[in-house]
Amino acid sequence: MKTRQLGDSDLLISEISLGSWLTYSGGIEKAEAIACIRTALDLGINFLDTANVYGRGAAETLLGEALEGVDRTSYILATKVYGRMSDTDQGLSRAQIFKQLDQSLHRLKTDYVDLYQCHRYDTETPLEETMEALTEVVQQGKVRYIGFSEWPIDKIEAAANMKGVAPFVSSQPQYSLLWPYPQTELFPLCADYGITQIVWSPLAQGVLTGKYRPSAALPADSRASHQTMGEIFPKRWLEPDLLAAVERLVPLAQEAGLSLPQFALAWVLRQANVSSAIIGATRPAQVIENAAAASKRVSHELFSRAEAIVGRFWQG
């Protein structure tokens, strides 16, 4: 498993990482989730990403159980703060950061997290308060580095130029062949500030695996058909014209000697500012296939042809 440096930190994280958004917050059985996590570790995937709000603590609790007894220095653990945990608990205030971090550490059964990320920007809390609180938890040793997910450009710049606070080293945007938008403005800006990307949904919630077929019934074991996961699945990604375009990517992947998901992950990893692509997996076999994408490199010409096929579905 190849690794890349995470921003201006000393963390070397695996090019493929394992997330727990929908799958490990109740989407699949616990035994299956733990099997995926252990398989990932066996393959050299050392970066594990979660959030307090995933299942309101369920994903962190499961990770804590799965990692019990595993050498803490052998993996890099990331979680997030911001999402609504109760009627009175949400946001990035100093009180919430302190409270939610301690609860996350308890669920994860660890004394520290390697990366603590602001899940979204909190318009109700002054940026200075958020950054000062994050700096305090770094100084306390509970957090090694800090990052953000889906923040506005102007707030990223403001935080990066703030004096006397811990610097952000990571950004976590949605990014895939069906969602390429961060590469235009976010990636160059982050590169200027020593921030790299850990991207989520690089397979467009499974659409770029080819499992969804035009005008066919949804696979019974898929996210789109799942009782809870399907509720937030982007319906426009299931339109027959788009799915037909995704099918046209399969011969390009085969020409590169890859499966379609490996091809899609390699497209994401072609970006120097991307440190890792977060996958979600319901079976160990999916982890094994996706992990192989870390060693694959594809010609620019094949990627250009792929972009020409799906580019007409890009918005704006």
Point out which residues pair with 168 in neighbouring strands: 146
Rounded to whole angstroms, the Cα distance separating 221 from 70 reads 30
Dihedral over Cα of 299, 11, 198, 108: its sign? positive
Of 54, 82, 116, 145, catalytic:
54
Q: Judge whether 54 counts as a catalytic residue.
A: yes
Q: Residues 6 or more apart from 302 whose CB is under 8 A from it?
A: 252, 255, 256
CA 234 from chain centre, in angstroms, equals 17
Q: Which of 57, 149, 49 is nearest to 99 (CA)?
A: 57
DSSP labels for 183-224? GTTHHHHHHHTT-EEEEB-TTGGGGGGT-S-TTSPPPTTSTT
Catalytically active residues are 54
